Amino acid sequence: HHSNNTILITGGAGFIGSNFIPYFLEQHPNIDVVNLDLLTYAGDLTNLREVEGHPNYTFIKGDICDKLLVKHLFKEYNISGVINFAAESHVDNSISSPGQFIKTNIEGTFNLLEIARILWNGKNNRFHHISTDEVYGSLGKDGYFTERSNYQPNSPYSASKASSDFLVRSYHHTYGMNVVTSNCSNNYGPKQHDEKLIPTIIRSAIKGVKIPIYGNGKNVRDWLFVKDHCIGVDTIYNHGKAGETYLLGGNNEYDNLTIAFKICDILDVKRSKIKGNYKDQIEFVEDRLGHDFRYAIDASKISKELGWKASEYFDSGLDKTIDWYLNKYQL
């Protein structure tokens, strides 16, 4: 069936996208979703089993850089909105091999913008670009990023995201396109790829191997539960002002070592019959190159203008996350 309101969601088989799509379909029974995802190592369709066969949902395997394919999808499904989650997202990979980050994050976003510009031809359709707080560089002990902070990306990952943010911005100022960008702090929750910090801590702990922590473990991130991010993206997609940027954060600043301690404490309780003292497995490893010290977000703009606020407490979000991974890893 073809509805007259079909949105293209890119990267929907990744961590955030696969949390977002089920939520969005439930919130908007009159909107169809086409999920375009290349299924790189980071994409996992099992995370979308709950929407398989949903009448409003279509999955397409493909590359956001593929001009013919994206054009075809816009026409075939009469796409009237885009949310761009697709990206190479792991900072460590961007350090060892930055090339694919330039391709997907910069050229891919450009391709989506160009096709939207040409095929929408002045229509007021929404283009929502998903980005990161890492574009703002690193903070010292004090202060917060706001929408007015300077862009100071430090890794090939954040530099590629910054470039895509600038392209999106330019399509509003130059062509008047109805774009919004949201820059979010670190997400955590179910369905995150094994390579990331929190899944690595959980998995290493229960497998009885060393829990690797970069440097001295003092790097600070602001953690946002992925469900809260999804609610924020839906809010911005529907109500954000064209051309604007919104920062989302969870007001949950923790350093990496504290996160590892918290996870170990929860596991000590949950698995007391199997093992305790998971903290003994923590080991410091050589720091990430150019490791930003601290990210933190002042999310008062979106709170004032759109009424969004993170609602999950970190400890309960972490508990839910751990349960999800215990179920995934644990036979």
Active-site residue set: 133-134, 157
H or E, element range at 226: helix 226-239
Least distance (Å) from ligand NAD to the CB of residue 187?
4
CA-nearest of 241, 21, 230, 266 to 126 is 241
C-beta of residue 85 within 8 angstroms of C-beta of residue 20 = yes
Residue nearest to ligand NAD (CB): 14
Least distance (Å) from ligand NAD to the CB of residue 36?
6
Least distance (Å) from ligand NAD to the CB of residue 169?
16
C-beta of residue 144 within 8 angstroms of C-beta of residue 297 = yes
CA-nearest of 72, 59, 52, 78 to 10 is 59
C-beta of residue 21 within 8 angstroms of C-beta of residue 60 = no
Indicate the residue among 224 and 267 with the shorter CB distance to ligand NAD: 224
Residue that the structure tokens 């170990």 belong to: 264
Residue 184 found at the interface with ligand NAD (CB under 6 A): yes
State the chain's maximal CA–CA distance in angstroms. 63
Binding mask 5-44 for ligand NAD (x = CB under 6 A): -----xx-xxxxx------------------xxxxx-xx-
Indicate the residue among 281 and 321 with the shorter CB distance to ligand NAD: 321
Instruction: Identify any residues that bridge with 253 across adjacent strands, giving them in sequence order.
Output: 222
Residue 70 found at the interface with ligand NAD (CB under 6 A): no
Binding mask 92-131 for ligand NAD (x = CB under 6 A): ------------x---x---------------------xx
Indicate the residue among 16 and 281 with the shorter CB distance to ligand NAD: 16
Indicate the residue among 252 and 281 with the shorter CB distance to ligand NAD: 252
Distance CA 94, CA 14 (A): 17
CB-based contacts of 2: which residues, under 8 Å, 6+ apart?
A: 32, 77, 78
- The footprint of ligand NAD on residues 243-272 (CB under 6 A) is none
Residue 80 found at the interface with ligand NAD (CB under 6 A): no
Segment interacting with ligand NAD (CB under 6 A) among 84-92, 140-148, 167-175, 296-304: 84-92
- E strands, the chain, are 6-10, 32-37, 57-61, 79-84, 126-132, 178-184, 186-188, 211-214, 220-225, 245-248, 253-255, 282-285
Distance CA 34, CA 289 (A): 37
Residue 198 found at the interface with ligand NAD (CB under 6 A): no
Please give the single-letter amino acid code of residue 171.
Answer: Y
Residue 3 found at the interface with ligand NAD (CB under 6 A): no
- The footprint of ligand NAD on residues 132-161 (CB under 6 A) is 132, 161
Residue 74 found at the interface with ligand NAD (CB under 6 A): no
Q: Residue 81, Cβ neighbours under 10 Å: how many?
A: 20
Residues in touch with ligand NAD (CB under 6 A): 10-11, 13-17, 36-40, 42-43, 63-65, 85-89, 104, 108, 130-132, 161, 184, 186-187, 193
